[in-house]
Amino acid sequence: MMRARGAGARMRRLGLVAVVAVVAATGCGPAQPSPTPTADARATESPTASPAPTSEPSPTPTPTATATADPLPEGPVTALLLGTDAQEPGSWGGRPDTIVVAQLSADRQTLALISVTRDSWVTIPGVGEAKINAAFPAGGTELMRTTVSELFGGLEIDYVVQANYEGFVSLIEAVDGFWVENRNPSVARFVDGAIDGGASRYYDFTADPLLLDDGDGIYFVRQRIDLPYGDLDRAERARASIIGLLERLDELAADPPALTAALVHIASAVRITGDLQIDDMVALAALSQELERDDILCLMAPLAGFTGRAGASVNIVDAPRTAALGEALRAGDVRAYVAAHGDDYAP
């Protein structure tokens, strides 16, 4: 345990830099397999290879107290965050077990984290009806983005961020661990196929709050068996982890060099689709707006129930409620939707 943590600390203020850094660093990227992009590699993609005058007041990777420009697009900013089940180092394939739509409202006063269960039965453009996570192996990032967009009535998605097993562990390492609210304390059991006979391994997740400070944290966000609502609880844990990472980045904002190092590490661990660079992420540290913990809204894309289709267990989308949520997302503010329907994720 590396930092004292009280229950009240979960409610402290969250800097806007933390919000956008996670929107840009916790979830997918180009569909084609390629080496893991680094901060330097992404920097060379823009036309800055030749020396540029240093006197121009252009964005700089060093945060300063006077840099208040918001580098994000005007209006609401929406990101699709994907956590895949790819376990091989450097692999960007697999299927997304974690699917989160993160939206920062136009007034920068609210962050919505909306989970879509991987087993949601939807229409995948050009493929047909299937579980929503089948869109990724069928067509990569763009088909996944299109499928989620159409689920919410044509929602514009600005960024897609992907992390695999290795990437999530790197996120933990990048910030030296973070605390999460643990709504369902448990002991997780996983069968390790690398051990002869498929021996079981057990992980103690009974503390609340819980510190994720090593590679075992991946099992906290992957557990679904023995949780009351299975995959729905797993989705809730993913949102709790995003918030925990947000809070830790907010702590690091008090130490600009440490924050810059963490963001560079994070950017090298994930794949990002969308025009958001390290310079932009760091520049957000100087914005004066802040979010309270209560300004982060966590909810689930609404479900009507569960059934079996095509020989598999699937989740039935609540079409009318999903349409209402999509309308709220396209308008850039889900507060009215939450006020009308609540944020309980169990159908």
Q: What is the pLDDT tens value at each position of the chain, 347 positions in all?
A: 344 443 333 333 343 434 444 443 333 333 333 333 333 333 333 333 334 433 444 443 444 434 445 666 678 989 999 998 877 777 777 899 999 999 988 888 889 999 999 999 999 999 999 999 999 999 999 999 999 999 999 999 988 989 888 889 999 999 999 999 999 999 999 887 544 556 788 999 999 999 999 999 999 999 999 999 999 999 999 999 999 998 898 888 888 889 888 888 888 888 888 766 656 555 554 443 467 778 899 999 999 999 999 889 999 999 999 999 999 999 999 999 999 999 988 76
Residue 99, helix vs strand vs coil: strand
- Rg, Å, the chain Cα set: 20
**Residue 222: both structure tokens together:** 């992957």
Residues in Cβ contact with 4 at an 8 Å cutoff, skipping those fewer than 6 apart: none
The answer to whether residue 207 sits within a structural domain is: no
CATH of residue 65: 3.40.630.190
Report the C-alpha gap between 133 and 110 in whole angstroms. Answer: 27
The answer to whether residue 144 sits within a structural domain is: yes
The answer to whether residue 281 sits within a structural domain is: yes
The answer to whether residue 313 sits within a structural domain is: yes
Per the structure, the count of domains in the chain is: 1
Do the beta carbons of residue 147 and residue 122 sit within 8 Å?
yes
The owner of tokens 């994907």 is 82
**Residue 208: both structure tokens together:** 């609340």
Residue 44's Cβ-count burial label (10 Å; 0-12, 13-18, 19+) is exposed
The answer to whether residue 181 sits within a structural domain is: no
The answer to whether residue 180 sits within a structural domain is: no
The answer to whether residue 124 sits within a structural domain is: yes
Residue 40, helix vs strand vs coil: helix
Work out the angle between the directed axes of helices 16-23 and 256-269 (0-180°, nearest 10). 20
The answer to whether residue 72 sits within a structural domain is: yes
Q: For residue 237, what are the β-bridge partners? A: none
Report the C-alpha gap between 266 and 246 in whole angstroms. Answer: 12
Do the beta carbons of residue 232 and residue 299 sit within 8 Å?
no
Do the beta carbons of residue 136 and residue 51 sit within 8 Å?
no
**Residue 296: both structure tokens together:** 């982060």
Show the domain range for 163.
Answer: 13-29+61-174+233-341
